[in-house]
Structure 1
Amino acid sequence: MDRFEAMSILVAAVEAGSLTGAGRRLNMPLPTVSRKLAELEEHLGTRLLTRTTRKLTLTDAGNDYFHSCKCILEEVGDAERKAAGEQSAPKGELVLTAPIVFGRLHVLPVVSAFLSIYPDINVRMPLSDRNVHLLEDDIDLAVRIGPQPDSSMVAKRVGSVRRVVCGSPGCFERHGVPASPADLKRLPCVTFDMMALPNAWAFGKSPNARDLSVEIRPRLCVNTAEAAVDAAIAGIGVTRVLSYQAARAVKEGSLQVVLQDFEPTPLPVYILHQGQGELPFKMRSFLDFAAPRLRERLEEIALS
């Protein structure tokens, strides 16, 4: 049995979603695909795939083996290119995830520029505010905001974002500009339910060196930061969002940032990947390309 070939067939079958799709991708008859996978399972002494008429599912052992095969095949491809002195651009599919709004506003433009330079790379970019599991969800890289507790990941910091309180000029004309977090108790507020404590906002060190947590009066509670920003622009109340979420409205003058001296420590922004061995060429290429550009974008949107 050619184990390298068998690994390639397994990866093709999983990525294509069927043995038939793997056969098309590899230009190999379906019976050959099925036979070689069966030989691989027999060699390993375990079942890798659960096959039904509708879909192909990896077993637990198959999931671990599949990801190892992908890494091995990518490393072999890189080694062959280096040995041949190949100077061509990286190839293959890159899977990248990011928070929904940050991904649309800032990661997508960087990815678009990357694709224009590297025509042999395709990118799949599922956006989610949920911290997906890179290994289980077959993700190569993740852009994440906030402290990262998973020490198994390699994190490249590209900047930070602030948590800002902002409101419309009209709102501050009616209710006054807050001089301290305690003043928020008398202002109508707009919250969204993704916040840990929608009815209380925590701030940084106060002048007397104590942390501040202020109960607020939600006039409106929505489920996205974009809706909270729109409501604040409409004058319903002040809101608290991440700086990039309000950057455009602040730049246009429809929102005004207040209480800057009381802001909590900015949240770090990272590009994460699994910390196992040398990175595939496509991932190294994206990191080298994207990190300085994301850093520059974060510096540009920093609010004063």
Structure 2
Amino acid sequence: MDRLLTLEMFVAVADEGGFAAAARKLGSSPPAVTRGIAALEARLGTALFHRSTRAVALTDAGAAFLGEARRILADLAGAERALRGAAAVPRGQLHLTAPVMFGRLHVLPVVDAMLAEHRELGVRMMLIDRNVRIVEEGIDVAVRIGALTDSGLKAVRIGRVRQMLVASPAYLARRGAPHRVADLKGHDLIGTMGPRWTSEWQFARTRWRLPAPPRLTVNTVDGVLAAAEAGLGIANLLSYQLAEAIDAGRLIALLEQDQPPALPVHLLFEPSRAALPAVRLFVEAMQARMRMAGLG
């Protein structure tokens, strides 16, 4: 029989004053406790209890051994608590990926706070505007914007963003503002190219196909944003990419009544990684960050 279990049985019998009471405390049976004490006594080569039909009492050897048994069990419990505590501390390398601008605006502040709090944690961030292969590329957590495919990965929804049309005050003063989707035909449009490039702009009730090619095409979000602020045309970007420029008055939202449904923002990771302290901490911190940014 397991040595630690027999020690637990011995202490329980001493504390409870009987085999039946000890069995109830341990969730065991009186015969199992009796066998456990007998095995312990055989291993030690001495009797630990005086037994009678009315009571169970410690022998001198049992009384001397009780203190040692309590110390052994206490030391084990302390070691287990220390190990659980150590396991709960985020440590090692956390591999993250996110779209470039989202990572800069919302993931990097979370990582900054995590690294300041947890000295044994390191982070590798891959900021890229494509959907990486999470398993093959060794990613712990990925930020995904938009509808998800059924991949077998665990998904935690942390917020939502909107697709928005914007232009600068200078452009609108020069060319006027579109009032309907069809009015876009008479405007300069800023297109994008790259992994997320599309020749159609989605609206609530229709799609608008961009001219081929648009008046201006740029391959980065920052480039599209800069072009729109410079008054070069109307851009179609996500709300988190535009928030600061709109708040500062450098860009103005257009056709808000025709905005398509919001896009979900998820964190994706393998189910086996869900219990990792660093992953749990990052997920919780990102949920708080999105709420604070009004995107939750």
TM bucket normalised to smaller: 0.5 to 0.7
Counterpart for residue 118 of structure 2: 118
2:236 aligned to which of 221, 233, 240 = 240
Paired letter, 2:232: I
Per-residue deviation, 1:99: 0.7
Counterpart for residue 155 of structure 2: 155
**What's the TM-score once normalised by structure 1's chain length?**
0.65
For 1:106 and 1:227, how far apart are their aligned partners in 2?
Answer: 19
Q: Is the 8 A contact 1:181 1:214 kept in 2?
A: no
Paired letter, 2:102: F
Q: Percent identity?
A: 39
Paired letter, 2:180: S
For 2:148 and 2:190, how far apart are their aligned partners in 1?
Answer: 28
Q: Is the 8 A contact 1:166 1:240 kept in 2?
A: yes
For 1:196 and 1:278, how far apart are their aligned partners in 2?
Answer: 32
Query: Map of 1:289-304 to 2, 5 A cutoff?
Result: 289-299=285-295
SS at match of 2:280: helix
Q: Which runs of 5+ in 2 are unaligned?
A: 1-78
Larger Rg: 2
2:284 aligned to which of 285, 288, 292 = 288
For 1:189 and 1:253, how far apart are their aligned partners in 2?
Answer: 20
Counterpart for residue 179 of structure 1: 179
Q: Deviations over 1:255-288 (max 9, x none)?
A: 1001111011111111111123752222222222
For 2:122 and 2:112, how far apart are their aligned partners in 1?
Answer: 11
Paired letter, 1:271: L
Query: Map of 1:220-299 to 2, 5 A cutoff?
Result: 220-276=216-272, 279-299=275-295
Counterpart for residue 31 of structure 1: none
Q: Deviations over 1:95-131 (max 9, x none)?
A: 1111111101111011101111112111111111121
Q: Is the 8 A contact 2:192 2:198 kept in 1?
A: no
For 2:294 and 2:158, how far apart are their aligned partners in 1?
Answer: 8
Per-residue deviation, 1:84: 3.7
Paired letter, 1:140: D
Counterpart for residue 197 of structure 1: 198
For 1:215 and 1:99, how far apart are their aligned partners in 2?
Answer: 24
- How many residue pairs match? The answer is 215
Q: Which runs of 5+ in 1 are unaligned?
A: 1-79, 206-210
C-alpha distance 155-85 of structure 1, shift in aligned 2 (>3 A)? closer
SS at match of 2:85: coil
For 1:297 and 1:233, how far apart are their aligned partners in 2?
Answer: 22
For 1:122 and 1:145, how far apart are their aligned partners in 2?
Answer: 25
Matched, 1:86 2:85: yes
Paired letter, 1:197: T
SS at match of 2:267: strand
SS at match of 1:107: helix
Counterpart for residue 128 of structure 1: 128
Paired letter, 1:213: W
For 2:81 and 2:234, how far apart are their aligned partners in 1?
Answer: 56
Counterpart for residue 213 of structure 1: 208
Counterpart for residue 106 of structure 2: 106
Per-residue deviation, 1:89: 2.6
**What's the TM-score once normalised by structure 2's chain length?**
0.67
Paired letter, 1:134: I
Q: Deviations over 1:17-70 (max 9, x none)?
A: xxxxxxxxxxxxxxxxxxxxxxxxxxxxxxxxxxxxxxxxxxxxxxxxxxxxxx
